[in-house]
Structure 1
Amino acid sequence: MLDKKNFPVLRNNPRLIYLDSASTTLKPDLVIAAEVEFLTKNGANPHTDAFENALLASEMIESTRKTIANFIGVENVQEIVFTTGATMSINQIAHGLKHLIQPGDEILVTDLEHAANLLPWIVLAKETEAIIKTLSLDPQTMGIDLLNLKRSITHKTKIVTFAHATNTIGYLNDVGLISQEIKQINPNVIICVDAAQSIGHTEVKIDQWAIDFLVFSAHKIYGPFGIGVLWGKMEWLKQMPPLIYGGGMSSYIAEDYSEYQLTAVPHKFEAGTPNLSAIQGFQKAIQWVSEIGMNKIQTYEQELKAYAVDQINKLNLTEKITFYNLNNHAPILTFNVNGWNAQDVANYLDVKHNIAVRTGEHCARLTGKMFAKNSLRASFGIYTTKSDIDLLLNALTKEDEFLDVFFT
């Protein structure tokens, strides 16, 4: 879709076949340039109007906040909170809701959740004596089973948290339908959506969903590392205590230190010096993706997946490789080569063919309930080509070479 030369990592490593975009997307020149521009042309700390560059830094933060709000369908810009990423965002939500959870309350998750959307809730449950319950998945799609969902929501259900798209197989849950079903049964349920895996591949429209929180990271949408978003309804954000305290988030501290007051949302959640260059790069990434068009990106990646499935069938690869998600449009192939250790296959692909794929549990340890504990995952981005897919699949046909890497 886009020339690989627009991405410095690929330009500087022309033989690299990068198929790990579900882990992190590569950054285009213009995003890196935006980061460098802040560091070389501004470089100031915000939160003061004492001099021009500091004022410009503050304006850049708020401008980026507005860009993100528009991108994900949020009307109230102040509901956009900057964090270090999706992981911190979910931890902030779980911490902030602790005062609402009573012993016996139920928190619903799925077995395919990333550790970032599982461990914070486990900790919350332990601290409050709440109960973690698992939502059943459709055995065909591995998405949330709507019939079971309806049976699972009760008067005890306090929180339902799930991924818009899972990082293991990429199935896209219908957030609009799921959230509507939940709220019809129990309108008091708090719904949290992890959009880390979907944000760079499909439209996220909060104004069309009946949810309460959504999180994602910039590096999943061609943006910088170390910056992310927590969106929450203002009614929740106002009553949530911050996870981190420090400069820039208090409006009053008593002289005897006996009391304090926090600033308004979102700044009460943004203690300390912001990751300014990353925020500027984040804005550029969102603007760039918007210019390309998310529908265009999604269509291209679905075409790549369809091509991959077609080639897999032509090569009869399903006879010796177990694929777990050929029946969805997600730009992910998760698989195991029958009889081979996943890490050995990944090492072979890397050393022999310069193909980068991810192996292991993919930070979703409970996926072992449904398929192999350790698997390989090849995931696509807007720089992925059909040629990349051909190289991967052809390499997987050369089973007699898998162990060569260990003896040469």
Structure 2
Amino acid sequence: MNNFRKHFPMLTNNPDFVYFDNGATTLKPKTVIEAEEFYLKSISANPHTNDYQAAYQANEIIRETRQQTAQFINAASPNEIVFTSGTTFAINQIAHGLRKKINPGDEILTTSVEHSANLLPWIVMANQTQAKVKTLPLTAAGAIDLEQLSQAINAQTKIVSFAHVSNTFGYENNIEEIVKVIRKCNPRVIIVVDAAQSVAHTEIDVQQWDIDFLALSAHKMYGPFGLGILWGKLALLDELEPLLYGGGMSLSIADNLQDYQLASTPDKFEGGTPNISAIYAFQKALEFITKIGIKNIKTHELNLKKYFIEQVKKHNLQSKIEFYNLNNASPLIILNVKGINPQDIATFLDLKYQIATRSGSHCARRTVDLIETKVSLRISFAIYNTIAEIDRLIEALNHSEEFLDVLF
């Protein structure tokens, strides 16, 4: 896996830099960066017409990337793939599009520890429709509790939305088992999965899971910023009301300026000029991950976490550091040095050791429901991280009480 580091300009240009903020965004390989640059330099056309060659190429890129994305998550059809600006937009589109299906008193179930992108849209939609947002039961580790799940589902349950992998606790929910329980209790429930934190680390199969909608972001899977994917079962997508209206998604507008006809799915959700250079770059990200193999990526990342845990125990770091999620199969760790603000530790790691981590609430405002803090330091691994980098992190954590030395 060390050989993959040469593909990432951020690392080759900064050989002493340690990047452990992959839960927020991954670094971009050279092929992804060059693809976006190539599009802007050599094609640079707006799609939605075939009147000249460059525009035809733009449309072909959209078609090809839609096909590749469908294969990557095992969608039944490329027409089930909608390009968005990211996971946040995708979930907002789902919530907005389902609004007419929601009646006063209906229940929307999610977890309290979701990223705000998978919590706020449902709260807003419930307030608008007089529905109720209720929380799913969780285990102490932050997973959906399968033993208690059936008690939460009833005839009023309309939507269940949750993360495949939590962006804080890192627990990987067993999608298939969760879906089986929900379908048995109420087969009409619409199931939405946020895959932003899992798509670069583990296999996704939307058909095998039997879910209804999925959302993900390209920038968390070695791809470009400003691009996401909304997947949905085609029949359900056809029923959704678009969040945006404009060019590229309308077929006709009547003389009375009241009636109109929209394009079919997925075009009806992609109004306006698409982020076409990013779509082309996303092709290369998918190819990059596919070439390495998602199973190989997962094995490497979990080996890194295993080694990290071994070093934590070897150096007795648990005596001065509170670790909240060491016991799960996720390349993500949250911690707090006892008595020290996590922002101060993050600054210390950066200034003294050139280690990039993330501190704060991680856009999950209710982690306090499981642990006695609203803020923490998050460390997250990717394919380019190494044992040597973890050794540097362990050394830094061993000296964390020296944080004031770099602050003043």
* TM-score over 0.5 (shorter chain): yes
SS of structure 1 residue aligned to 2:210: coil
Q: Is the 8 A contact 1:360 1:375 kept in 2?
A: yes
Moved more, 28-37 or 93-102: 28-37
Counterparts of 1:309-348 in structure 2, within 5 Å, are 309-348=309-348
Deviation at 1:258, TM superposition (A): 2.1
Counterparts of 1:180-191 in structure 2, within 5 Å, are 180-191=180-191
1:26 corresponds to:
27
Q: CA separation in 1, counterparts of 2:258 and 2:99?
A: 24
Q: CA separation in 1, counterparts of 2:4 and 2:205?
A: 29
Matched, 1:49 2:43: no
Q: CA separation in 1, counterparts of 2:256 and 2:123?
A: 38
Q: Deviations over 1:295-342 (max 9, x none)?
A: 000111110110111110001001110101110121011100011111
Q: CA separation in 2, counterparts of 1:399 and 1:356?
A: 15
Q: Is the 8 A contact 2:105 2:156 kept in 1?
A: yes
Q: CA separation in 1, counterparts of 2:30 and 2:401?
A: 40
The one-letter code sitting in structure 1 at the alignment partner of 2:51 is: A
Q: Is the 8 A contact 1:358 1:377 kept in 2?
A: yes
The one-letter code sitting in structure 2 at the alignment partner of 1:365 is: R
Q: Is the 8 A contact 1:25 1:221 kept in 2?
A: yes
Q: CA separation in 2, counterparts of 1:396 and 1:308?
A: 12
2:122 corresponds to:
121
Q: CA separation in 1, counterparts of 2:112 and 2:50?
A: 49
Q: Is the 8 A contact 2:142 2:370 kept in 1?
A: no
The one-letter code sitting in structure 2 at the alignment partner of 1:72 is: I
SS of structure 1 residue aligned to 2:215: strand
Q: Deviations over 1:204-233 (max 9, x none)?
A: 011101210000000010000000100011
Runs of at least 4 residues of structure 1 off by over 6 A? none
Identical positions, percent: 53
Q: Deviations over 1:368-401 (max 9, x none)?
A: 2222211000100111111111111110111341
Q: Is the 8 A contact 1:183 1:210 kept in 2?
A: no
Q: CA separation in 2, counterparts of 1:177 and 1:369?
A: 24
Counterparts of 1:189-208 in structure 2, within 5 Å, are 189-208=189-208
State TM-score, norm by structure 2. Answer: 0.98
2:72 corresponds to:
71
1:302 corresponds to:
302
1:370 corresponds to:
370
State TM-score, norm by structure 1. Answer: 0.98
Q: Between Structure 1 and Structure 2, how many residues are aligned?
A: 406
Counterparts of 1:32-181 in structure 2, within 5 Å, are 32-139=33-140, 141-181=141-181
The one-letter code sitting in structure 1 at the alignment partner of 2:327 is: N
The one-letter code sitting in structure 1 at the alignment partner of 2:5 is: K
Q: Is the 8 A contact 2:109 2:157 kept in 1?
A: yes
The one-letter code sitting in structure 2 at the alignment partner of 1:388 is: E
SS of structure 1 residue aligned to 2:162: strand
Q: Is the 8 A contact 2:4 2:383 kept in 1?
A: no
2:238 corresponds to:
238
Q: Is the 8 A contact 2:81 2:266 kept in 1?
A: yes
The one-letter code sitting in structure 2 at the alignment partner of 1:75 is: A
SS of structure 1 residue aligned to 2:366: helix
1:209 corresponds to:
209
Q: Deviations over 1:16-73 (max 9, x none)?
A: 1110000000000011111111111111111111111101110110100000000001
Point out where structure 2 has 5 or more consecutive residues left out of the alignment: none
Q: CA separation in 2, counterparts of 1:291 and 1:53?
A: 28
Q: CA separation in 2, counterparts of 1:18 and 1:165?
A: 20
SS of structure 2 residue aligned to 1:274: coil
Q: CA separation in 2, counterparts of 1:337 and 1:136?
A: 29
1:220 corresponds to:
220
Q: CA separation in 2, counterparts of 1:130 and 1:75?
A: 32
Distance 1:60 1:399, change over 3 A: closer
Q: CA separation in 2, counterparts of 1:40 and 1:228?
A: 23
Distance 1:136 1:31, change over 3 A: same
2:264 corresponds to:
264
Deviation at 1:286, TM superposition (A): 0.5
The one-letter code sitting in structure 2 at the alignment partner of 1:57 is: A
SS of structure 1 residue aligned to 2:363: coil
Q: CA separation in 2, counterparts of 1:5 and 1:102?
A: 54
Q: Is the 8 A contact 1:180 1:209 kept in 2?
A: no
SS of structure 2 residue aligned to 1:327: coil
The one-letter code sitting in structure 2 at the alignment partner of 1:164 is: H
Distance 1:111 1:79, change over 3 A: same
Deviation at 1:147, TM superposition (A): 1.5
Q: Is the 8 A contact 1:306 1:329 kept in 2?
A: no
Q: Deviations over 1:154-212 (max 9, x none)?
A: 00100000000000021110111111110111000000000000000000011101210
Q: CA separation in 1, counterparts of 2:382 and 2:169?
A: 15
Deviation at 1:255, TM superposition (A): 2.4
Point out where structure 1 has 5 or more consecutive residues left out of the alignment: none
The one-letter code sitting in structure 1 at the alignment partner of 2:198 is: S
SS of structure 2 residue aligned to 1:378: strand
The one-letter code sitting in structure 2 at the alignment partner of 1:367 is: T
Q: CA separation in 1, counterparts of 2:210 and 2:358?
A: 34
